[in-house]
Amino acid sequence: MQNTVQGEATVYPFPAITPGHRLAPAKVGPRGHQTVVFVECPNWCTEDHVEWPERYAEDIDHRGATGATWETECLTKPHDRVMSLDAWLHSDAMASDSAMRATHVVLDDETTQAYLTPDMADRVADEIVSFASQLRQLARTARLHNAVNGSGSVADEALQRISGGAA
């Protein structure tokens, strides 16, 4: 009977894990004195918290894989990624702002990161659809203008040469 009581005294209940999370190893501490601890990691987090150590456990944030991406080259810099937008899931469990603690969307143009609540991300998505329509209108106007004036893209110039017999 006494043995059973002693046995129970050494059993520690496994900590409850928040739904949608898993326990993941994370390396923390100053360089040369790092230890591995276990932190709650959202299921969508793809960050390797051991490979990317933080000095303090409070600095650990969670990042998902890039879930949306767009980039463009430029007429004068073909094959260069001159402008881009990437988006991924993010949360910062220790942030003072509850919206930053909650899962949100990061929009990144390689200069600025915009943190968006799900509602903000939906609004941005609607605006990007509208932007796409405006972009097509600009392309249509440019194409018509070039056709009328016989100048513009290499393709238009080639057509002009062919129709003008200059080729």
List of residues contacting Zn ion (CB under 5 A): 41, 45, 47, 62
Q: Which residues contact 164 (CB under 8 A, 6 or more apart)?
A: none
Partners of 115 in the β-ladder = 106
* Closest CB 105 distance from Zn ion, rounded Å: 16
* Closest CB 45 distance from Zn ion, rounded Å: 3
Nearer to Zn ion, 45 or 87 (CB): 45
Q: Which residue sits closest to Zn ion, CB atoms considered?
A: 45
Q: Is the CB of residue 83 less than 8 Å from the CB of residue 109?
A: yes
Nearer to Zn ion, 45 or 121 (CB): 45
* Closest CB 29 distance from Zn ion, rounded Å: 17
Q: Is the CB of residue 134 less than 8 Å from the CB of residue 128?
A: no
**Distance between CA atoms of 27 and 54, rounded to whole angstroms?**
7
Rounded (5°) CA angle 40-57-117: 60
Q: Exposed, middle or buried, 139 (CB in 10 Å: 0-12/13-18/19+)?
A: exposed
Nearer to Zn ion, 46 or 163 (CB): 46
Nearer to Zn ion, 41 or 105 (CB): 41
* Closest CB 24 distance from Zn ion, rounded Å: 6
Nearer to Zn ion, 93 or 107 (CB): 93
Give the Cβ contact number of residue 34 at 10 Å. Answer: 15
